[in-house]
Amino acid sequence: MTIASPGLAELPQSLAHETERGPFGWVATVDHKRIGILYLLTSLAFFLVGGVEALLIRIQLARPNAHFLSPDAYNQIFTMHGTTMIFLVVMPTLVGLSNYLVPLMIGARDMAFPRLNALGYWLFLFGSLLLHFSLLAGGAPSAGWFGYAPLSETPYSSTPGTDYWIVALLVLGIGSVSGAINLIATVITLRTPGLSIRRLPLFVWMTFVTAILIILALPVLNAALAMLFIDRRLNAHFFEATGGGSAILWQHFFWTFGHPEVYIMALPAFGMISEVIPVFSRKPIFGYEFVAASTVAIAVLSFGVWAHHMFAVGLGHRADMAFAIGSMAIAVPTGVKIFNWIATMWGGTLRFTTAMMFATAFLLEFVVGGLSGITFAAAPIDWQVTDTYYLVAHFHYVLFGGTAFAIFAGIYYWFPKMTGRMLDERWGRAHFWLTVLGFNLTFFVQHFLGIMGMPRRVFTYPDLPGWGALNMASTVGAFIMAASVVVFGANLAISRFRGKVAGHNPWDAWTLEWATTSPPPPHNFDRVALVRSRRPLWELAHPASPTAAASMAERLPPAKTVVAVWAFIVSETAFFIVLILSYVFFNLSTAASAAALDAKTTAVFTVCLLASSVTLYVAEKSLERGRIVAFRIWLVSTFLLGMIFMGGQGIEYTTLFHRGFTVDSSLFASSFFTLTGFHGLHVTLGLIALGILSALAFADDFGGKSLRALRAVGLYWHFVDAVWVVVFSIVYLRTVL
Amino acid sequence: MNTRALLLHEWDFGLVVPIVCVLAFVAYRVRFGRLLQRRAGFFGIAVALFFIALASPIGVLARGTLFSAHMLQHLLLMLAVPPLALLGLPREPLDPPSFRLDRDRGALGYVAPWLGGVGAMWIWHARPLCNAAAVSTTVQTFQTVSLVALGLAFWSPILSPRRAARMAPFPAILYLFAACIACTILGIMVTLSPVEVCSAYLHPVDSLGVLALLRDGWGLSCREDQEIGGLLMWVPACFVYAASILGTLARYYGEEHVSPRAVGAPR
């Protein structure tokens, strides 16, 4: 089953070693491989839905002045197409692949938190069903996948579609963050001995960096969505200029999330390309360090350049210039990768399997998308072509020509591992050529349409010279792509049952997932050989010519709960930064808050909350020293102090309500209640956790696992208190200083 | 006055700045022996940038005339001079080969310099302090000293010549990335703030006679001046952090090539 070699490492038992058969086995599964496949199948289903939506759009646009779709239906369909493809297809496909592959590639038996992993999938499924439920409840959302305010505000989108969109995205966002936290904890704590970060397969490294992007970027969207929801349901005015809010603020928040999101969708694709190209070039990746480090550079820069999505907003020439430079800078690390992939192929023994053909086509298509992206970084060009089909062409070259091609390469590469059978190469070639032809026909012509001035997001267009012909060509291309998807689907279905049997390692690849059977057993590996290089299976096959041997002293990994709580704290920090910045933005003058708030009373309750951090620390120390009675007393005191703080907040809220301050009464009130309300919610969650711990502390002896749980809850509790220190200083102290 | 005259003639050498620069070189020569070595180049650039930040037109305009010059000065004093100076110190030759967390330092040993470095950037932009630094020489001197000192403290866990005093690579990346975020938030607030961060720059006392050049010749209103200041903090500052993150990664990946010999593995 696994390759025998000296220095085998025993693995910890996984939760999934007993698998239920039948449908219930799939519903109840916590096996990362089954969850990965559920993700992949669900996103394949939504790929078909999003594809049909795309065909409807293209039929409507095939001829000028057409009335196949009404303007409103068109708006709903392009909104659903964008939202579906990004949140229900690309992201879950990448999550599915990383779910399936990361534990195998690092020689682990499962993810760090298998049940959390299952929760992430079900959140994704029900979030996406919620989004589609809007069709039964008065119409789909129609404000675009970016939900620009004020269009997404109640006066302009009065149907509940946008509300479903918000709630669905919140659910999906929470699912993504939980998945990312799980992945971070998995990669940090469950790597097999010898597999240092330096030797990680690039796919694992890039999904790891992506997970960090997710925990930082998704909470920004979540906070903004919460504010938009408060606007819509509770009549606040965060993003509505008529009530004093700022529509531009929505764009800032959305693109603070939205630009890293581009790399959340691109980096795992880069990772897959970095696995496929070396294997089919029969060479180690050229410049591993550069590919790995440029990933970090992209991730860091991606947070600093969102304003290039807003050149047309009127931020001013200086801001435009700064962001143009920043955006162009991202092309450097991306270009580094492209050259590394080319150099890997250079002089290699190339094997053009379907996977390799998709990977090679990826290089070409992605470069086209990347180059048109650089043209957008120049603000004057952006002004000319923003919101035209040139932009539509650009991001489809990035997301389809880039990410989707890489996903196809990855599916052809890993399908044998997942099913034990090879995908058919002849069907694969037909799929490849139809995709290349259809894709380029659909989107390349859109560059010209954009330069001719055809606006996007408009349901039809006048009969100007050339527009009709180019649009018809684009529509024909879309149908060729649809045909390619049919071929792909047929290939998947037929090969699943009739494909050639794959064996352990059909591609002669080097990473650990190929060291076990195809498909792997529920527990993945019996034993894993000590990893000595970046290509462990190459070492085993060619002991005489190692890639690069080195042995580093290993350090024990940190506890997985601690890693997970820290990752959670990072994501919560991003969430609160957005709420705090909105509060500051709407309360530059302290006049409104000074009139409403009583800093002295709140200071007393603040002291209680801070004291609770101290008592919890003492409780933890008492438990470590085995003084169980002291531990119980301090833990209960923590709980009570937290309750007192919440009581204080309750009194404060009641007083404010009586004085006429409600969430819709002014921007001060909206931002105040949102910020302190979300903090109160976090305290409440902490209290629930403390309550459970207290109950456990009195029920039985408290050790081992429970001590780790106490540490995790403790970290979270201290974080909530630290947030309050900032909130108290900004909201209350400013009124008296 | 035109731009050429401003750049050529508005230098304020004073006495203290040149003396400090010369003393820095003397101290380096005394402590490390040679001035003509590769590392000393970084140190030389650090001293030169220190001189430029304070004595050149940047320093002159920063004294209550131009907010963006003041911001550029801050960036030089915190993000250029200290890291270059630390890079300029010769590495200690007898380091243990592995990257280990410095046990002596402890977590607080990283949190304190981070808070010092990032806090200095923030606190000097609180309006009363910012205004005081713009008009009072004493406060400005104090500001300069604090920025360089806290800058050195901030950068030492990353660039200290002693390997044992440096952070492990991944905590170091988090340390730098968090600083980048904190800097970005300050930059955003300064850029987009509808009110003046430093009201002193609103109506400068035009003792140099350059205001006409700045307002009409360069076309910089107060608002745009502040915007440029904020953007300097936002975008180029993050480039410095991004570059040092890459440097840390380069060092991390470079480690593998030395380690087999260092741990005595067979060749």
Q: Give the closest-approach CA distance of B169 to chain A in angstroms.
A: 11
| DSSP 3-state of A25 | helix
Task: Identify from B235, B253, B263 which residue to disrupt to test chain A contact, counting A C-beta atoms within 10 A and taking the largest count.
Answer: B235
Q: Does B107 touch chain A if contact means CB atoms closer than 8 Å?
A: no
Find, in chain B, the residue whose alpha carbon is nearest to that of A300: B242
CA pseudo-torsion sign A640, A641, A642, A643: positive
Is B184 in contact with A316 (Cβ distance < 8 A)? no
Residue B116 has pLDDT above 50, yes or no: yes
Residue A2 has pLDDT above 70, yes or no: no
Each domain of chain A, given as residue ranges in start order, spans 30-541, 587-736
Q: Which residue among B228, B253, B265 sits closest to A198, beta carbon to beta carbon?
A: B253
CA distance B162 to B164: 5
Q: Flag the least confident range among A125-129, A335-339, B104-108, B180-184.
A: B104-108
Query: Nearest CA to A267 among A155, A402, A395, A171?
Result: A402
Nearest Cβ partner for B235 among A300, A304, A551: A304
Give B237's contacts in chain A (Cβ within 8 Å).
none
pLDDT of residue A555: 62
Between helix A705-727 and helix A599-624 the angle, nearest 10°, is: 160
- B244 in A contact zone (CB under 8 Å): no
Give mean pLDDT, residues A552-576.
85
pLDDT of A16 over the 70 cut = no
Only one residue has tokens 């267009």, namely: A461
Model pLDDT, residue A595: 87
A179 in Cβ contact with A115 (< 8 Å):
no
Judging contacts by C-beta atoms under 8 Å, the chain B residues touching residue A319 are: 191, 227, 231
Residues 145-184 of B with CB under 8 A from A: 170, 173, 177, 180-181, 184
**Termini Cα distance of chain B:** 69
Instruction: Specify whether the CB–CB gap between B81 and B49 falls below 8 A.
Output: yes
- Sequence-distant (6+) residues with CB within 8 A of A2 are A515, A516, A525, A526, A527, A528, A529
Cβ–Cβ gap B250/A293 under 8 Å: yes
Q: B133 CA to chain A: closest CA distance, Å?
A: 21
**For residue A92, is the peptide bond before it cis, meaning its omega torsion is within 30 degrees of 0?**
no
Please tell me which of the candidates A319, A549, A551 has its beta carbon nearest to residue B231. Answer: A319
Nearest chain B residue to A249 by CA: give it.
Answer: B192
> Is the Cβ pair B265, A301 closer than 8 Å?
no
Chain A residues with CB within 8 Å of chain B CB: 197-198, 288-289, 292-293, 296-297, 300-301, 303-304, 316, 318-319, 322-323, 325-326, 329, 548-553, 577, 581, 584, 588
As beta bridge partners, residue B173 has none
Asked if B184's CB is within 8 angstroms of A289's CB, the reply is no
Residues above pLDDT 90, as percent of chain A: 79
CB contact under 8 A, A297 and B242: yes
Give the distance from residue A301's alpha carbon to the nearest chain B alpha carbon, in angstroms: 7
Minimal-distance CA residue of chain A relative to B232: A322
Instruction: Read off the pLDDT of residues B225-255 as tens digits, 9 standing for 90 and up.
Output: 999 999 998 888 889 999 999 999 998 888 7
CA distance A128 to chain B (A): 32
Higher local confidence (pLDDT), A87 or A549: A87
Q: What is the pLDDT of residue B35?
A: 65
Residue A682 pLDDT greater than 50, yes or no: yes
Across the interface, of A289, A318, A326, the residue whose CB is closest to B253 is A289
Q: How many helices (H) and strands (E) does chain A have?
A: 24, 2
Supply A732's token pair.
């209350």
Least CB–CB distance from A322: residue in B180, B224, B234: B234
Return the sign of the alpha-carbon dihedral for residues A493, A499, A503, A508: negative
| Across A590-610, average pLDDT | 91
Chain A to chain B, count of Cβ pairs less than 8 Å apart? Answer: 83
Could you read off the pLDDT of A415-467 as tens digits, one per residue? 999 999 999 999 999 999 999 999 999 999 999 999 999 999 999 999 999 99
Which chain A residues are closer than 8 Å to B128 by Cβ? none
Band (pLDDT 50/70/90 cuts) for residue A11 is low
Instruction: Tell me the pLDDT of chain B averaged across its residues.
Output: 84
Cβ neighbors of B65 (< 8 A, separation 6 or more) are B201, B204, B206, B208, B210, B211, B214
Question: Measured between CB atoms, which of B188, B227, B263 is closest to A316?
Answer: B227
For A490-535, what is each residue's pLDDT tens digit?
999 999 999 999 999 999 999 999 999 999 999 899 888 788 888 8
How far, CA to CA in Å, does A93 sit from each of A41, A44, A140?
9, 8, 23
CA distance B120 to chain A (A): 17
Size (chain A), residues: 737
pLDDT confidence of B90, banded at 50, 70, 90?
confident
Name which of A292, A323, A577 is nearest B185 (Cβ-Cβ): A577
Show residues of chain A in contact with B259, CB under 8 Å.
550-552
Banded pLDDT at B201 (limits 50, 70, 90): confident
CB atoms within 10 A of CB A172: 28
The answer to whether A304 contacts B238, with C-beta atoms less than 8 Å apart, is: yes
Across A681-689, average pLDDT: 96
- Min Cα separation B185/chain A (Å): 9
Chain A nearest CA to B254, separation (Å): 9
- Per-residue pLDDT tens for A215-262? 999 999 999 999 999 999 999 999 999 888 999 999 999 999 999 999
CB contact under 8 A, B256 and A300: no
Residues from chain A contacting residue B175 (CB–CB below 8 Å): none
Q: What is the pLDDT of residue A285?
A: 95
Maximum separation of any 2 CA atoms in chain B, in Å: 72
For the segment A640-663, the average pLDDT, to the nearest whole number, is 95
Q: Which of B173, B231, B253 sits opposite A318 (nearest CB)?
A: B231
Give the mean pLDDT of A682-707: 85
Does the pLDDT of residue B100 top 60, yes or no? no
Distance from CA of A525 to the nearest CA of B (A): 28
The confidence band for B101, taking pLDDT boundaries of 50, 70 and 90, is very low
**What residues 55-84 of chain B have any CB closer than 8 A to a CB of chain A?**
none
**CB neighbour list of residue A14: distance below 8 Å, 6 or more residues apart:** A31, A109, A110, A114, A522, A523, A524
Contact A552 B263 (CB under 8 A): yes
Chain B residues touching residue A304 (CB < 8 angstroms): 180, 184, 234-235, 238
- CATH architecture of structural domain A587-736: Up-down Bundle (1.20)
Of A322, A323, A588, the CB nearest to B194: A588
What residues of chain A lie within 8 A of the CB of B184, using their CB?
303-304
Tell whether the torsion through CA atoms of A354, A359, A361 and A362 is positive or negative.
Answer: positive
Distance from CA of B141 to the nearest CA of A (A): 27
Q: Residue B227 and residue A323: Cβ atoms within 8 Å?
A: no
Query: How high is the mean pLDDT of chain A?
Result: 92
Residues of A in contact with B245 (CB under 8 A): 296-297, 300
Percent of chain A with pLDDT over 70: 95
Inter-chain touch B184–A293, beta carbons under 8 Å: no
One-letter amino acid of A509: A
Residue found by looking up tokens 């030395």 in the block: B258
Q: What is the per-residue pLDDT for A176?
A: 96
Task: Say yes or no: B241 contacts chain A, CB-CB below 8 A.
Answer: yes
> Which pLDDT tens digit goes with each residue over A136-190?
988 899 999 999 999 999 999 999 999 999 999 999 999 999 999 999 999 999 9
Whether residue A1 is predicted with pLDDT greater than 90 in this model: the reply is: no
Query: B31-65 pLDDT, tens per residue?
Result: 887 666 778 889 999 999 999 999 999 998 888 88
pTM flag (> 0.90): yes
Residue with tokens 């693109």: A255
Highest mean pLDDT among A591-605, A667-681, B57-71 belongs to: A667-681
Please tell me the distance from the alpha carbon of residue A178 to that of residue A94, in angstroms, as a whole number.
Answer: 15
Contact A584 B189 (CB under 8 A): yes
**pLDDT confidence tier of residue A4, bands split at 50, 70 and 90:** very low
Q: CATH: 2.60.120.590, 2.40.33.20, 1.20.1440.80, 1.20.210.10. Which one for A30-541?
A: 1.20.210.10
Tell if the CB–CB gap between A318 and B181 is shorter than 8 Å: no
In this complex, the residue of B191, B228, B246 whose CB is nearest that of residue A293 is: B246
- Closest residue, chain A, to B258 (C-alpha): A550
